[in-house]
């Protein structure tokens, strides 16, 4: 029985295999430059996929011998085959805002972001941008994303419909924002609650889709809106919450002036019941108590290095997050982020960590970009690794796809060195193929 011929034209049955350097990062190797275990790698390896799920991984020779005769084997020898990337914070509607510079957060929102988001009132704009955005994720090896939408309900319908058509695992939500933003981008406490609820009922748990309750940030939501958002989070305990926190010093001061009773900016969210089971972007200007609260309530931090550097927001303190036990995922945060590429994002993360005097090993970086993100989203029982039964979302990376990459890769003596050079030099050119539940997404490769 032919399951799917995919865009590479290879006829795969319900059972097929991929040969290459097969590796995954199921446990966190910890900080520092001398990573402990946490990586399983089979240099000449095989990933066996059955009905869109991982059946097993291991050394090629014995696994090939054990396959039923005639099982298709896709040869990606020379490439790395690893779980697809998880982008834990990205704005699909800001695809066309990317590379709009010259300002810090609050001015950037007013000058560049809100005008583009206004266009998403038109569902045809929302649909066309969603299609481009999702294809761009696949081109970069990202197979799961937590997407921060615009205020418009129909734009989230369009995003989910396009993700569903590609069978992509996606979590997304409609932005809630009822003050301190342009009039025509405001909802109300009740409409935000009602529309979010309707979107949850329609999409949450449908196929590979999930919903996230999405108050934009404390500065653009009234007390009444945050109260209703918190009620919705209580009513739907398996639905994620996402937002922004402690990105920029002016933003922190503004949030504190709007909520003077709060102990800290992060505390605003906790007071409204919006911290449990959440993912907050940036988390730069936090204190030790904030990090303790995040760890206690399973609130994850989305580390957005290209965005934080681009807007001059500050340096995420990965060591402090680790010490407090805060779950961390990697995020592009396009359009303040400057690339859809998780490889480029890891390169900037490495530099941010160096600026704080610490080290980020390549193994740890790839762990954060795969399993770390899956954990942040509460999806590590389905994605993020090649443990048996996981959904077969994976990326095939060719370290030698560029001339300089080929030269550097030829000199790499260890897996860590190979991964390190790939993350520092890599981008979308290194993505040879992206598979979603065992189906290749990139035509002509």
Q: Which residues bind Zn ion (CB under 5 A)?
A: 281, 333
**Interface with ligand GUN (CB under 6 A), residue from 23, 176, 336, 377:** 336
Rank residues 247 and 391 by Cβ distance to ligand GUN and give the closer one: 247
CB of 177 to Zn ion, least distance (A): 13
Rank residues 152 and 408 by Cβ distance to Zn ion and give the closer one: 152
CB of 109 to ligand GUN, least distance (A): 6
How close are the terminal C-alpha atoms of the chain, in Å?
24
Q: Which does 117 bind (CB under 5 to 8 A by kind): ligand GUN, Zn ion, none?
A: none
Q: State the CB neighbour count (10 A cutoff) for residue 253.
A: 12
CB of 335 to ligand GUN, least distance (A): 8
Q: Which does 394 bind (CB under 5 to 8 A by kind): ligand GUN, Zn ion, none?
A: none
DSSP state of 149: -
91: contact with ligand GUN by CB under 6 A: yes
Rank residues 47 and 151 by Cβ distance to ligand GUN and give the closer one: 151
Contact (CB, 8 A) for 90 and 159? no
Q: Rounded to whole angstroms, how far apart are CA atoms 413 and 400?
A: 15
CB of 246 to ligand GUN, least distance (A): 10
CB of 364 to Zn ion, least distance (A): 23
CB of 281 to ligand GUN, least distance (A): 7
**Interface with ligand GUN (CB under 6 A), residue from 196, 307, 332, 433:** 307
Q: Which stretch binds ligand GUN (CB under 6 A): 10-18, 105-113, 126-134, 391-399?
A: 105-113
Rank residues 28 and 247 by Cβ distance to ligand GUN and give the closer one: 247
Q: Which does 217 bind (CB under 5 to 8 A by kind): Zn ion, ligand GUN, none?
A: ligand GUN
Torsion of CA 90, 109, 278, 130, to 10 degrees: -30
176: contact with ligand GUN by CB under 6 A: no
Rank residues 247 and 409 by Cβ distance to ligand GUN and give the closer one: 247
Q: State the CB neighbour count (10 A cutoff) for residue 376.
A: 31
Is the link from the previous residue into 388 a cis peptide, with omega within 30 of 0?
A: no
Rank residues 97 and 436 by Cβ distance to Zn ion and give the closer one: 97
Rank residues 145 and 401 by Cβ distance to Zn ion and give the closer one: 145
Q: Rounded to whole angstroms, how far apart are CA atoms 339 and 90?
A: 10
Q: Which residue has the tokens 């734009």?
A: 155
Q: How many CA atoms lie within 13 Å of 374's alpha carbon, on the beta-carbon side?
A: 27
Q: Rounded to whole angstroms, how far apart are CA atoms 421 and 410?
A: 11
CB of 99 to Zn ion, least distance (A): 16
Q: What is the helix, strand, coil percentage profile of the chain, to 5? A: 40, 25, 35
105: contact with ligand GUN by CB under 6 A: yes
What residues contact 45, with CB distance under 8 A and at least 6 apart? 19, 20, 21, 22, 23, 57, 58, 59, 60, 81
Window 196 to 255, contacts with ligand GUN (CB under 6 A): 216-217, 244, 247
Size of the site for ligand GUN (CB under 6 A): 11
Rank residues 317 and 333 by Cβ distance to Zn ion and give the closer one: 333
CB of 116 to Zn ion, least distance (A): 14
113: contact with ligand GUN by CB under 6 A: yes
333: contact with ligand GUN by CB under 6 A: yes
- Contacts by residues 219-222 (CB-CB < 8 Å, ≥ 24 positions apart): 219/180, 219/251, 219/254, 219/255, 219/258, 220/177, 220/178, 220/179, 220/180, 220/181, 221/176, 221/177, 221/178, 221/179, 222/178, 222/179, 222/189
User: Distance of CA 117 to CAs 125, 192, 293, 329, 396, Å?
Assistant: 10, 17, 32, 25, 33
CB of 333 to ligand GUN, least distance (A): 5
Q: How many degrees, rounded to 5, is the angle at CA 375 between CA 286 and CA 397?
A: 110
Rank residues 220 and 433 by Cβ distance to ligand GUN and give the closer one: 220
Q: How many CA atoms lie within 13 Å of 329's alpha carbon, on the beta-carbon side?
A: 33
Q: State the CB neighbour count (10 A cutoff) for residue 181.
A: 20
The residues binding ligand GUN (CB under 6 A) are 91, 105, 109, 113, 216-217, 244, 247, 307, 333, 336
């Amino acid at each position: 029985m032919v399951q799917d011929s995919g865009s590479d034209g290879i006829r795969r049955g319900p059972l097929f295999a991929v040969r290459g350097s097969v590796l995954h990062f199921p446990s966190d190797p910890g900080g520092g430059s001398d990573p402990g275990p946490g990586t399983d790698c089979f240099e000449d390896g095989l990933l066996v996929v059955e009905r869109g799920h991982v059946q097993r991984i291991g050394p090629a020779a014995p696994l090939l011998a054990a396959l039923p005769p005639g099982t298709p084997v896709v040869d990606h020898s020379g490439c790395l085959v690893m779980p697809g990337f998880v982008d834990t914070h990205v704005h699909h509607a800001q695809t066309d805002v990317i590379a709009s510079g010259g300002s810090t957060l609050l001015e950037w929102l007013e000058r560049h972001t809100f005008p583009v988001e206004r266009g998403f009132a038109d569902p045809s704009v929302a649909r066309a941008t969603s299609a481009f955005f999702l294809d761009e994720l696949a081109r970069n090896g990202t197979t799961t994303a937590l997407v921060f939408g615009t205020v418009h309900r129909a734009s989230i319908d369009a995003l989910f419909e396009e993700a569903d058509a590609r069978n992509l695992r996606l979590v997304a939500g409609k932005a809630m924002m009822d003050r301190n933003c342009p009039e025509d981008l405001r909802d109300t406490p009740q409409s935000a609650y009602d529309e979010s609820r309707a979107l949850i009922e329609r999409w949450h748990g449908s196929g590979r889709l999930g919903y996230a309750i999405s108050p934009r940030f404390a500065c653009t939501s009234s007390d009444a809106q945050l109260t209703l958002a918190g009620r919705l989070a209580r009513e739907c305990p398996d639905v994620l919450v996402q937002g922004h926190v402690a990105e920029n010093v002016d933003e922190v001061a503004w949030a504190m002036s709007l909520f003077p009773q709060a102990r800290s900016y992060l505390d605003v969210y906790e007071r409204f019941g919006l911290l449990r089971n959440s993912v907050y972007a940036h988390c730069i200007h936090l204190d030790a108590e904030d990090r303790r609260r995040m760890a206690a309530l399973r609130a994850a931090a989305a580390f957005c290095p290209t965005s934080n550097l681009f807007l001059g927001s500050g340096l995420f303190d990965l060591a402090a997050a680790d010490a407090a036990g805060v779950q961390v995922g990697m995020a592009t945060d396009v359009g303040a982020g400057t690339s859809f590429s998780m490889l480029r994002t890891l390169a900037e993360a490495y530099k941010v960590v160096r600026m704080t005097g610490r080290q980020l090993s390549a193994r740890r970086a790839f762990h954060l970009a795969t399993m770390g993100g899956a954990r942040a989203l509460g999806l590590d029982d389905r994605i993020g690794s090649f443990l048996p039964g996981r959904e077969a979302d994976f990326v095939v990376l060719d370290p030698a796809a560029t001339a300089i990459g080929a030269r550097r890769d030829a000199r790499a003596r260890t897996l860590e060195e190979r991964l390190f050079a790939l993350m520092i030099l890599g981008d979308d050119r290194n993505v040879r193929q992206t598979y979603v539940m065992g189906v290749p997404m990139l035509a002509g490769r």
